[in-house]
Structure formats: C-alpha cells, structure tokens
Structure 1
Amino acid sequence: MLMMSIFAIVVLAFLGMSMAQLLATSSSSIVYEVYGLRALNAARSGLDQKVLDVFSEQTSDASRCDADGSDSDLWVQQDFSNIPGMENCKVIALCTVTEVDDTNYYRFESQGMCELEGEGIVVSRTLAIDGRDVQS
C-alpha cells in the first residue's frame, strides 16, 4: 500500500509540473502573438504613411523616394511610445524607385518593431508592396 501511494504521489507531481509548464508556455506564446500584432500594425502604419507621401493627390512624386535607399531623410521613422497599446513600438519605412522606359516603379518597405519591456526581446514584422506610375 505504501508503494502505491508513493507511486501516486510521484505521478501526480509530474502531472502537476507538466501542467504548470504547459500554462507558462501558453502564456508566453500569447505575449509574443500580441507584440507581433502590434509590430504588424506599426509596419502597416509606416507603409501607409510612405505610400501617402509618394502618391498624394492621385499623382506620384518620385523625388519623395530615394533611388538606392541611402538617404535617411526620406525614411519614415516614427516612435509610438505615447500611443496607448503601442508603447515600445517604432517603425522604419522607406521607398526606392526605379525608372524603366519612362515609367517609375516603386518598392515600399516597412519594418515595425516592438520591444518587450525589461526582457530584451524585440518582435518585428516587415511588409513590402510594389507600385508604378499610371500611364495616362
């Protein structure tokens, strides 16, 4: 009888430890999912802003894009620290333009990054879209 009770205690202890580990893993995956969604929204915001800069008022302005991506003055850099729900998030967006046969082809790229405060973990999401001038 003593052996059976020791066996039951050991089995229940392992079961309890595995359940605690499962709950901890589930909790951390939810945190990463939330911060990933925040980073995605930051990237979308930067991408929207950069597209709006170039294609404002239904015309395009290729001068708002940097041909090789080296002019950091043309990058959209935004910090979302004072926006509730987006704390510790920032975005960098840029545009490059290539001209082929008098048509401008645009590449918009945006990277949203959110840092888990005090953990040193950064979650990032990158978005990119392509576009071109409409020929009239």
Structure 2
Amino acid sequence: MPRMFGTDGVRGLANKDLTAQLALDLGDAAVRVLGGDDAEGEFEGRRRALVGRDTRVSGDFLAAALSAGMSAGGFDVIDAGIIPTPGVAYLTSVLNVEMGAVISASHNPMPDNGIKFFARGGFKLPDAKEDDIEAVLGQDWE
C-alpha cells in the first residue's frame, strides 16, 4: 500500500488529490493520534493545535477543513494565518500546543498544496506517527 505521507507531509493537487474532505479527515485523525490528555499549556486541561498556511489560494479552504476536523476532535485551534513553515514549528513549541500543522507545498507548483504536521515541541512527526494517522484514516493513497 503506498504511503499517504511523503518526506514533508501529505501533498497533492489541491481540490483533486488534496480535498477539503481529506483535510477534514486528516485533522480528525491527527487529534486521535497526537491528542494526549496531558495538556500543560497556558489553558491547562484544554487541548490545542496551531494551523498556519502559505499564500496559495487553496490554503484557506484546506486550513478551514483541517481546523474543523481538529475542532470536531475536541481541540481548540489557533489560526496562525499566513506564516512560513518554520514559524509554525516555532509557535507550536513556544505556545506549548499538542500539535501544529502548516498548509504549504513549499517549492512545488502553485496548483499543488500540502499538509505537514508538527508534534509538541515543534518537531516533525516521526514516520510511525504518520503511519498511525494513515491507519486511522484506513484508506489507500494513490
């Protein structure tokens, strides 16, 4: 079975491969895998995630869908708006949130987009956690 996650998250042609439904499902799956009950931040007891995006047109609908999936899983989502990928990693650490996510396809063509997750502390997810998210989704990525 092909992996959904590549070297830097999930990427694909926006609104074809990477749809709002997939972003919603990824948000829900991510909170199930990464959403521990040990929140220690400023709002102790409330689980939080941070979502940022680049300037691609598709970023708005993908961020909204991803955030909705996280919210449905019981998380408060902080919208970081337009921000570079390292900024999301930094804020994930500084704000002590359970996870961060950035909607960006980096240097890939403008019609593409992607979703990259960060674990608590602002670190890239280990492959095993990405595999766990894929298992929650229970679908093949082609």
Same fold? TM cut 0.5: no
TM-score by length of 1: 0.26
User: Which TM-score applies when normalising by structure 2?
Assistant: 0.25
Structure number with the bigger relative contact order (C-alpha 8 A, sep ≥ 6) is 2
Which structure carries more helix by proportion? 1
